[in-house]
């Protein structure tokens, strides 16, 4: 896969949702997701399958 193909795929997958959410909403969503991941890593309770599913939503 070329970079331009990856970029187009990401646009197809996420642009509408992120655009509708707006810059601040998307930033807040990203911060929440990173915080959740950090907490799971600290506790050592990271469920890889649940994490994969969550990221694909």
- State the residue range of the domain holding 38: 3-55
| DSSP H helical ranges for the chain | 3-43, 48-55
Q: How many domains does the chain have?
A: 1
User: What three-state secondary structure class fits 56?
Assistant: coil
Q: What is the pTM of this model?
A: 0.62
pLDDT at 51 over 80: no
Q: What is the pLDDT of residue 57?
A: 62
Can you give the pLDDT at residue 46? 72
Identify the pLDDT of residue 56: 67
- Distances 56 to 13, 23, 42 between C-alpha atoms, Å: 9, 20, 22
Q: What pLDDT, on a 0 to 100 scale, did the predictor assign at position 44? A: 82
23, 15 contact by CB (below 8 A) = no
* 54, 47 contact by CB (below 8 A): no
């Amino acid at each position: 896969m070329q970079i331009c193909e990856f970029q187009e795929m990401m646009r197809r997958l996420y642009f509408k949702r992120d655009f509708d959410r707006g810059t601040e909403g998307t930033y807040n969503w990203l911060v929440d997701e990173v915080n959740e991941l950090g907490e799971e890593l600290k506790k050592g309770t990271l469920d890889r399958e649940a994490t994969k599913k969550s990221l694909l939503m």
